[in-house]
Amino acid sequence: MKPCINNVRRRATYCLNKKRDVFISTENEEETEKSCEVMVNERNDSDDRIAVGILAADRPEYLYSLLDSIRKQSTDKFDLFIFVDRIDGNDDNKKVINVARDFPKADVRVVDLPDAPIGVARLTFWAIRTMFGHRNQYNSILVLEDDHLIGHTYIEAMRLLLGAAEHMDDVAVVNGNFMNTPKNQKTTQRYKMKPVFMERDDENCLFQVAPLISIPEINSHNVWAWATTREKWSRVDSDMAIALEESGLNKDNYDDRDKRKIVQIMDNVCPQTGYRKWAGQDWLRACIFHSHSMTFKLQPTERFMTYIGKEGIHMDEKRFERSGFNSTTAVDVSHSLKNFSSNLCRKTCILSKGS
């Protein structure tokens, strides 16, 4: 595979063409790959259940569509939690609660605080702690928002990815939201940013270990629809709680957050990294993972989830389309998992920035 070399005419070059071992290598490459497959499949074959949490508020149609995908998943080794932010006097919020409570076997939790609605940052943190704290029975969690639409193999794919990630100490999360990424000598333009040049080896790189810090520069490398393990989250939980408190996100409604405080915290926790470009809870969480030497995320180079509609994202229509968020159907992002483990162990590459 060719090295990643920066093109001086462009702002940056990202390359996906350097193989990354999922596990510590042995002298025999074939033995290493076989061992990798066994360990990845062990998690999927085990009886361990993953806790799947959906964050919802006032979009009943979106929640209904996501739950339809949940109903059609290729595995049943998960338990569903639905966390609803309460909005008093809002008819759509009432519909969301009814849709959630009508779903079989869902553990529905509605915010019961005097200052509700609490917003997505507090709702997310509450969901994470609730799922990991629930009888201490879950070793991994998957966090979805109501405008996410997952393919019918998404949860099983996340279980397999977690089987690899738990042995990769520098990987924080896994997800399947790889989209609109340029292939082989093409460029992409993110809103108000210069194009980024991308080199990809699509034959040998079917999975990528992507730096979390690439999020600000390449619009496809976000941290939505993500999953992690109990051990990884335990390293950041207390710092995340402190960050929420110091930023005011543990009290403020998310729309009214103090962005200056959030940026200040990121400057202190992960200085000179670039996360500060967006004063939001996603990048704050990524920053804290980064500060604990978990600087990557693991994902396939094929899209396993999508978005239900542009109303769910703070973008105008043109920006929405330019960023590659055009919605599709769950069927279109439902992929076979044949050879998934084998390819994960043999065809995982590092997304690296040119030097």
Name which of 168-177, 206-215, 220-229, 311-320 the model is least confident about.
311-320
- pLDDT band at 22; cut points 50, 70, 90: confident
The helix/strand/coil state of 224 is coil
| Cβ proximity of 31 and 37 under 8 Å | no
323 vs 243, more confident: 243
221 or 305: which carries more pLDDT confidence? Answer: 305
Average pLDDT score, the chain = 86
Quick one: pLDDT at residue 130?
Answer: 98
**Contacts of range 93-98, beta carbons closer than 8 Å, 24 or more positions apart:** 93/57, 93/58, 95/60, 96/56, 96/57, 96/58, 96/59, 96/60, 96/63, 96/146, 98/60
- The tokens of 222 are what? 């976000």
Determine the pLDDT at residue 312: 47
pLDDT at 1 over 70: no
- C-beta separation of 141 from 128 below 8 A: yes
- For residue 34, what pLDDT band results from cuts at 50, 70 and 90? confident
Where does the pLDDT of residue 354 fall: very low under 50, low under 70, confident under 90, or very high at 90 and above? confident
Q: Is the pLDDT of residue 222 over 50?
A: yes
Residue 219 has a pLDDT of: 52
- pLDDT the model gives residue 183: 64
State whether residue 116 is helix, strand or coil: coil
pLDDT 10s digits, 83-120: 999 999 999 999 999 999 999 999 999 999 998 999 99
Q: Which residue, among 123, 164, 157, has the nearest Cα to 143 in the 3D structure?
A: 123
Cα(313)–Cα(112) distance, integer angstroms: 26
Give the dihedral of Cα atoms 25, 26, 29, 33; nearest 10 deg: -70
pLDDT of residue 324 exceeding 70: no
Q: Are 199 and 4 in contact (CB under 8 A)?
A: yes
pLDDT band at 179 (very low <50, low <70, confident <90, very high): low
Concatenated DSSP letters for 169-217?
A: TTEEEE-----S---SS-EE--TTS--EEEEE-TTT-SEEEEEGGGTTT
| 8 has pLDDT over 90 | no
- Specify the DSSP class assigned to residue 223: -
Q: What is the pLDDT of residues 249-299, one digit of tens each?
A: 998 778 889 999 999 999 999 999 988 888 989 899 999 999 999 999 999
- Bridge partner residues of 16 (DSSP): 200, 351
